[in-house]
């Protein structure tokens, strides 16, 4: 028993389960990498102001959930609660938008931190893979991102997810809708916190999950009835492109998401096998964010998919990923001389690209064979003094149990053939 436990709301990734996480990250990244997105990595913490301005002063993420702290040097920093603001900050800082080659397409993968009430699927430390296309206003880019996320989930075998789609308008129609919504909300019977929200962020009231609030929202004005002509046309094109690509989506006029920077297209991927934390990923267009953090106008669109919840979705659908065995060959030396010879052979095999492990710690044959079986290897190499004296090792097929001697100097080739 260890004295220390992982902090509340966090958990460790441990083999063999951790291999699924790596595979999920790779699977999500594969479609974006094929679509011209370059890898970006930013620090785990940023100036707290970046998130306050970028994500929004009145959002739960900033007011309640941020791990903010002051350093010994007096800097006000925060552990990153999301990726978009940091990635845009990095792109602006590096001047990537100045090359005349827009959009700048970037993808990332990493840890994010939110001081949330932990429950299944909601953690204080979680993992996202994200993609951002910065500096272009083109409905095809919005559609591309939805398709890439869809294809990532499909490549993992997932089928039980739905895509919710909405438009949150732009700087022209948003204020008109906001005012109409505020007027409606002010006529409802709401608690003080929610009333306050009507003033600072009325769209988020639409996102309230409490039945007492929900029941009063049935007649709330919907953004789709207030979109300006440009936003309406833009949204129609996104929908057409998705439909033409065979992507099924549901229009959800109440989808607002918890971050302030979204404009126009917003979308969420939800999985019905996950209970209350059903959003596996989400994103949208954020045309004003660059200016909010001090950059030039750079209309952009992106998403972040949660790795933790994607793994939970796989479990909910009973999907086990077919992962390559971590060990193909397990070497069992019997005696000191064998240990030296096999150690050298193991190194050779690894250099030849064969995943190979060795029984360490002077184990006896029986124990070593148990480890060989546990490792998942298909082949064992067993060498004792007598075999070695003749320049041989025994190559054992761990599935059939068959064993045959193989010349040491032909070992790499023989192993390769046996694994083919």
Q: Residues in the site for ligand AMP, rule: CB under 6 A?
A: 82, 114, 116, 121-123, 126, 128, 258, 279-282, 304, 306, 308-309
Considering only CA atoms, which of 243, 195, 241, 189 is closest in space to residue 216?
189
Residue among 307, 308, 288, 306 nearest 298 (CA): 288
Of 303 and 330, nearer to ligand AMP (C-beta) is 303
Residue closest to 358 by CA, chosen among 23, 344, 60: 344
Which is closer to ligand AMP, CB of 112 or CB of 234?
112
The nearest distance, CB 242 to ligand AMP, in angstroms, is 19
**Whole-angstrom distance, CA of residue 212 vs CA of residue 208:** 9
- Smallest gap from Cβ 82 to ligand AMP, in A, equals 5
Q: Decide whether 59 or 375 has the Cβ nearer to ligand AMP.
A: 59
Query: Cβ 110 to ligand AMP, closest distance in Å?
Result: 12
- Token pair belonging to 242: 């998705």
Query: For residues 242 and 41, what is the distance between their CA atoms, to the nearest angstrom?
Result: 30
In sequence order, which residues have a C-beta less than 8 Å from that of residue 9 and are 6 or more positions away?
116, 118, 123, 124, 125
The C-alpha angle with vertex 300 and arms to 302 and 237, in degrees rounded to 5, equals: 85
CB of 168 to ligand AMP, least distance (A): 14
Q: 127 or 345, CB closer to ligand AMP?
A: 127
Least CB distance to ligand AMP at residue 309 (A): 4
State how far the Cα of 125 lies from the Cα of 350, in Å rounded to an integer: 35
Six-digit token string for 368? 């070593």
Tell me whether residue 207 or residue 230 sits nearer to ligand AMP (CB atom): 207
End-to-end Cα, the chain, rounded Å: 43
Q: Which is nearer to ligand AMP, 114 or 239 (CB)?
A: 114
| Edge-to-edge order in the sheet of strand 45-47 | 45-47, 76-79, 68-70
Name the residue nearer to ligand AMP (CB basis): 308 or 387: 308
CB of 303 to ligand AMP, least distance (A): 8
Q: How far is the CB of 199 from ligand AMP (least distance, A)?
A: 23
């Amino acid at each position: 028993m260890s004295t220390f436990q992982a902090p509340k709301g966090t958990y460790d990734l441990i083999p063999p389960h951790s291999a699924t996480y790596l595979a999920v990250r790779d699977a999500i990244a594969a479609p974006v990498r094929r679509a011209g997105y370059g890898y970006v990595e930013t620090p785990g913490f940023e100036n707290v102001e970046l998130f306050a301005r970028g994500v929004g002063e009145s959002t739960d993420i900033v007011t309640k959930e941020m791990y903010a702290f002051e350093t010994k040097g007096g800097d006000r920093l925060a552990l990153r609660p999301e990726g978009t603001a940091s990635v845009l900050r990095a792109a602006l800082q590096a001047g990537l938008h100045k090359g005349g080659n827009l959009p700048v397409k970037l993808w990332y993968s990493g840890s994010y931190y939110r001081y949330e009430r932990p429950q299944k699927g909601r953690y204080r430390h979680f993992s996202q893979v994200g993609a951002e296309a910065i500096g272009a206003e083109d409905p095809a880019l919005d559609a591309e991102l939805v398709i890439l996320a869809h294809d990532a989930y499909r490549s993992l075998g997932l089928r039980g997810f739905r895509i919710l789609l909405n438009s949150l308008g732009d700087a022209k129609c948003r204020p008109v809708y906001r005012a109409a919504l505020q007027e409606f909300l002010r006529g409802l019977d709401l608690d003080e916190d929610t009333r306050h929200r009507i003033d600072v962020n009325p769209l988020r009231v639409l996102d309230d999950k409490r039945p007492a609030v929900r029941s009063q929202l049935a007649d709330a004005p919907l953004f789709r009835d207030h979109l300006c002509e440009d936003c309406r046309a833009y949204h129609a094109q996104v929908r057409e492109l998705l439909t033409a690509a065979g992507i099924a989506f549901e229009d959800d006029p109440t989808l607002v998401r918890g971050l302030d920077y979204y404009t126009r297209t917003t979308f969420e991927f939800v999985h019905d096998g996950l209970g209350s934390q059903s959003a596996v990923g989400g994103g949208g267009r954020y045309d004003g964010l660059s200016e909010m953090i001090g950059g030039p106008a750079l209309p952009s669109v992106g998403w972040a998919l949660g790795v933790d919840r994607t793994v939970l979705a796989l479990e909910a659908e009973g999907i086990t990923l077919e992962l390559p065995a971590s060990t193909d060959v397990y070497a069992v030396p019997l005696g000191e001389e064998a240990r030296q010879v096999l150690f050298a052979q193991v190194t050779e095999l690894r250099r030849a690209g064969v995943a190979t492990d060795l029984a360490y710690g002077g184990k006896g044959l029986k124990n070593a064979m148990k480890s060989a079986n546990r490792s998942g290897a298909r082949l064992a190499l067993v060498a004792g003094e007598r075999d070695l004296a003749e320049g041989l090792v025994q190559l054992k097929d761990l599935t059939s149990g068959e064993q045959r001697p193989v010349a040491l100097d032909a070992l790499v080739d023989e192993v390769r053939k046996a694994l083919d």
